[in-house]
Amino acid sequence: MPVITCIEDLRRMAERRVPRVFYDYADSGSWTEQTYRENSADFSRIRLRQRVAVNMERRDLATTMAGQPAAMPVALAPTGLTGMQHPDGEILAAQAAEECGVPFTLSTMSICSIEDVAAATSSPFWFQLYVMRDRDFAAGLLDRAKAAGCSALVLTLDLQVIGQRHKDLKNGLGAPPRLTLANILNMATKPRWCLGMAQTKRWNFGNIVGHASGVEDMGTLAEWTAAQFDPTLTWDDIDWIRDHWGGTLIIKGILDPEDARIAADKGADAIIVSNHGGRQLDGAMSSLTVLPQVADAVGERCEVHFDGGIRSGQDVLKALAMGARGTYIGRAFLYGLGAMGKPGVTAALELIRKELELTLALCGRNDVHDLDLSNLVFPHQIPAPLGPYQWQPQGKLAAE
């Protein structure tokens, strides 16, 4: 068993063990992948302020996210096709999250269904909704999530149309995978993955096949999904979703302060600053870059969560110091899942927990709730958020 010291170790293992079509799905962005790269790179542009001679014997990472207790301010993000990184992947990731005491979010486009995950876990999990043209189907998803005891709804707003993802197009992404010669030859080099997938019945989109009207097999599913993502979705549609759900509502995909204010006006309990992992609008700002302005825009009206580029506990700490109440990891846990299944997800969460706790201590803090901009140092070429530059309502940075 190799010694695993960082998320990058898990990424390299996953790259060796997961078929290219699904590894590339997890580890890529849209178009040139500029935004995908900058989500992570922008963390390295911010430095930490080290403090000494502070009693750091006890450090407290516990918090709440959207009212749910969390052992640390980290949740597992909703990720599509998780069950193709490893057989029964959503179930295994949910179980690992439950054991580690952090929230798990199930994607609409999961392989394991809402009911599969509910049957395999004892703690409430969150459900992420894509709004489809078929509103009856969307309402049915909400009803199924409520029946399964899901404690929060994560409503994704940034996938009305799908960004152009070059690697997915070239690889013929699908579930089950498209059996092109290239995919067959590559899967032949991944015997562990193939053996595992041969032992599970979950090969398809479990929340859709058999639930959406007229979708019974892969042929009809492909036609249905191509027609169902709804480009007509507007803020006016949030009202019926919120009313039908009737519980905790988290709105995901916020990159602009004005959108953040609208989401708060619509009654969101939390918003997630996110650019869909750089998989939608390439050239959009990194999530970290806009986080302080979004947090400033909503103030105390709703919680601000963060998603995009986190690969370490230090990244988590920087996001918290810049205004986030909680954070989400997507690729970081997918690497662990692809590398080792459930133990890999646990390893990813433990790595981040230990890194966060150690960094918290070396920054002179004992509690994650005490973090703020004073814990960070911004090199001269980076405008310090809300420091020498102030975000204006019209969305421009102007010198004070």
Q: Is 25 annotated as a binding residue?
A: yes
- 38 and 45 in contact (C-beta within 8 Å)? no
What tokens were used for 331? 């690729």
Q: Is 328 annotated as a binding residue?
A: no
Q: Is 311 annotated as a binding residue?
A: yes
Helix, strand, or coil (residue 282): coil
Instruction: Classify residue 56 as exposed, middle or buried by CB count within 10 Å of its CB (0-12, 13-18, 19+).
Output: middle
Q: What is the DSSP letter of 6?
A: S
Q: Is 101 annotated as a binding residue?
A: no
Q: Is 279 annotated as a binding residue?
A: yes
Q: Strands (DSSP E) along 9-165, which ranges?
A: 47-48, 63-65, 68-70, 74-76, 105-106, 126-129, 152-156
- 49 and 374 in contact (C-beta within 8 Å)? yes
What tokens were used for 336? 């662990």
Alpha helices (runs of H) in 30-124, residue ranges in sequence order: 34-44, 89-100, 114-120
Helix, strand, or coil (residue 301): coil
CA distance 96 to 200: 19
Active site residue 276: yes
DSSP-derived pairing of the beta strands 376-377 and 47-48: antiparallel
Burial call 306-319: b when 16+ CB within 10 Å, e when fewer: bbbbbbbbbbbbbb
Q: Is 234 annotated as a binding residue?
A: no
Catalytic residue, from 276, 305, 369, 380: name it: 276
Q: Is 296 annotated as a binding residue?
A: no
Q: Is 326 annotated as a binding residue?
A: no
Q: Is 308 annotated as a binding residue?
A: yes
CA distance 293 to 392: 9
Q: Give the C-alpha distances (Å, rounded to integers) separating 196 from 59, 78, 95, 114, 163.
A: 40, 22, 18, 21, 31
Q: Which residues contact 293 (CB under 8 A, 6 or more apart)?
A: 257, 385, 386, 391
Q: Is 276 annotated as a binding residue?
A: yes
Q: Is 310 annotated as a binding residue?
A: yes
Q: Is 60 annotated as a binding residue?
A: no
Q: Is 330 annotated as a binding residue?
A: yes
Binding residue numbers for FMN: 78-80, 107, 128, 130, 156, 252, 274, 307-311, 330-331
What are the catalytic residues?
A: 276
Binding residue numbers: 25, 78-80, 107, 128, 130, 156, 165, 252, 274, 276, 279, 307-311, 330-331
Binding residue numbers for glyoxylate: 25, 165, 276, 279
